[in-house]
Amino acid sequence: MMLQAIDLALVIEKLILIVIVISASLVIAMYTTFAERKVAAILQDRRGPNRAGPFGLLQPLADGLKLFFKEEIIPNFSSKFLFILGPALAMMTAMMTSAVIPWGDKIEFFGRSVALQITDVNIGVLYVFGVVSLGVYGIMIGSWASNNKFSLLGGLRAASQIISYELAMGISMIALLMVTGTLSLKEMVIQQQQTHWNIINQPLGFLIFLICAFAECNRTPFDLPEAENELIGGYHTEYSSMKLGFYLFAEYINMFISSVIMATLFFGGYDMPFVNEALLSPNIAALVGIAALMGKVICFIFLFMWVRWTIPRFRYDQLMHLGWRILIPLALFNMLATGGVILYFGK
């Protein structure tokens, strides 16, 4: 149990990084809820929230405060522990993904070189995939513990939807891994910095990944688990107060994280296009990188919202049809074609 001095410094450094990353993603998710309402309003020729603070910027705080002060209702016949575990798991799995994402290059700080990534594990992509596949537990446990038919239906929909789309997502990711030859997200970004973005190699793979990301985040047009006009509220029908807030919030964190993942996998991560980072001083380069990543993420989040307010919800059989009979064969074909090209041109 001896922690060396250097280890202690590393632990503190990582702890600070974790706190920053988690609080940043919480704040961004908070403002994503605000952005969602604003974008919806703008796309529908309305004004959106503009009362709380200048331009309505304090609206997410007001929303959160309202949720905290709402009455807490736990149904009588539900399993109380599981009822509380549901939203907690949803929130936790939503935030766990951020651990392997490279937010930027190294930053020089009091003579220490700090990598802007919590941990660069050699299985980064698989870690993301694993955590995403666990995300469904929050919804399933919560929906079952509610002891409500509609909640259960929502939970079952969520489970089958996420499992179905995970397959296509995984296969499209395999094609990408065949091109990059690494599982570490950091190395992928460095590769893309040196050559070109992966979207050029894998346009079809990106399309499949994007569609699956929509389904994994339970976003419209795949928001069947919470389809309000047929399942009341889906899996969170029985939830109130901040537990409901956690579920809603987890969705926005998921959206943010999947935007970051897509930007990192296919759009060069923190790579600013047409700028040679090696010429800049390390700190400036890191800041430019973070700004580039955030810019890409904002574009993706806008895409998520734009699609939400354009495309109506799928029917459940259409969802399954798309997942199993179109996306999986397409992803398999993409994998085969990628393998063929790599084999033919010898990479």
Partner 1 sequence: MNITTLVFILLSLLAVGSAIMMITSKSPVHSVLWLIVVFFAISGHYILMNAQFLAIVNIIVYAGAIMVLFLFVVMLMNLNKETEPVKNYRLQLIGVVSGGCLLLIILSAIMKIDTQQLVEMKVGDAGLIQSLGKNLFTNYVLPFEISSVLFLSAMIGAVVIGKKD
Partner 2 sequence: MQALTNKSKQVNRAPMSFIERLYLPSIFKGMLITFSHIFKKKPTINYPEKQRPFSPVFRGLQILNRDEEGRENCTACGLCAVACPAEAITMEAAERQNGEEHLYKEEKYAAKYEINMLRCIFCGLCEEACPKDAIYLSETFTPADYQRKQFIYNKTDLLIPHPKENPDAYEKALGNRPKRESVN
Closest CA to 186 of 125, 255, 231, 127: 125
Closest separation in Å from C-beta 137 to partner 1: 7
Which residue number, 42 or 65, has a Cβ lying nearer to partner 2? Answer: 42
- For residue 179, state whether it binds partner 1 (rule: CB under 8 A): no
Number of CB atoms found within 10 A of residue 163's CB: 12
| CA atoms of 173 and 202, how far apart (whole Å) | 10
| CA atoms of 90 and 145, how far apart (whole Å) | 14
Closest separation in Å from C-beta 224 to partner 1: 15
Which span sits near partner 2 by CB under 8 A: 40-48, 102-110, 181-189, 260-268? 40-48
| CA atoms of 231 and 246, how far apart (whole Å) | 19
- For residue 317, state whether it binds partner 2 (rule: CB under 8 A): no
Measured distance between the N- and C-terminal CA atoms of the chain, rounded to whole angstroms:
47
| CA atoms of 283 and 266, how far apart (whole Å) | 24
Which span sits near partner 1 by CB under 8 A: 40-48, 140-148, 246-254, 262-270? 140-148
Out of 91, 115, 136, 173, point to the residue binding partner 1 (CB under 8 A).
Answer: 136
Out of 23, 113, 122, 310, point to the residue binding partner 1 (CB under 8 A).
Answer: 122
What region does 48 belong to: left with phi over 0, alpha with psi -120 to 50, or beta? left
- Please give the C-alpha separations between residue 285 and each of 107, 213, 272, 289, in angstroms, as whole numbers: 8, 30, 9, 6
Of these partners, partner 1, partner 2, none, which one is at the site of residue 73 (CB under 5 to 8 Å by kind)? none
Which span sits near partner 1 by CB under 8 A: 30-38, 122-130, 290-298, 305-313? 122-130
Which span sits near partner 1 by CB under 8 A: 22-30, 46-54, 105-113, 131-139? 131-139
- For residue 26, state whether it binds partner 1 (rule: CB under 8 A): no
Of these partners, partner 2, partner 1, none, which one is at the site of residue 107 (CB under 5 to 8 Å by kind)? none
Out of 94, 107, 118, 152, point to the residue binding partner 1 (CB under 8 A).
Answer: 152
- For residue 325, state whether it binds partner 2 (rule: CB under 8 A): no
Q: Which of residues 294-313 bind partner 2 (CB under 8 A)?
A: 306-307, 309-311
Output the six-digit token pair for 197. Answer: 């973005």
| CA atoms of 54 and 294, how far apart (whole Å) | 23
- Please give the C-alpha separations between residue 313 and each of 16, 224, 225, 346, in angstroms, as whole numbers: 41, 7, 11, 43
For partner 1, the binding residues (CB under 8 A) are 1-2, 79, 82, 121-123, 126-127, 129-130, 133-134, 136-137, 140-141, 144, 152, 155-156, 159-160, 162-163, 166, 183, 320, 324-325, 328-329
